[in-house]
Amino acid sequence: MSGELSVGVGALRKRLDEAVVLQATVAQLAKDLDVADLRTPPTGEEAFEAVRAQVLTALERMQAGSGSGLSRAVNRVDLTEVQVNDALGRGGLVELAGLMVLRCLQKVLIREHYAGRA
């Protein structure tokens, strides 16, 4: 998978090494993508890629369907049109999947911060 997305976001991705954060991020993705079969991988360096691979599979299923599921997922994850177009232009659905993982991770960290737990 493309490593280009990871440039400049290493510290953010590193938070997936925390089991609680990883689990919350996967739960947020499952909710936003409306996909029940996302599984939390083991923590560690490969956690990001493991989650991105699952999201990619979900996005491919959405794209193969009516296409409206993909549009809904983008809106629920809260990505801008520019972000989506940039990701698709750089690496297609693989980049979009990575961007979605990072955005949901941000949502989790922001929620934790404002709850006083981060």
- pLDDT confidence of residue 66: 76
Q: What is the pTM of this model?
A: 0.88
Cβ atoms within 10 Å of 5's Cβ, excluding its own = 22
- How do residues 91-101 score in pLDDT, each as one tens digit? 999 999 999 99
**Does residue 2 carry a pLDDT above 80?**
no
Could you list the residue range(s) of the whole structural domain that residue 91 is in?
A: 4-114
Residue 25: C-alpha distances to residues 31, 70, 82, 90 (Å): 10, 19, 23, 24
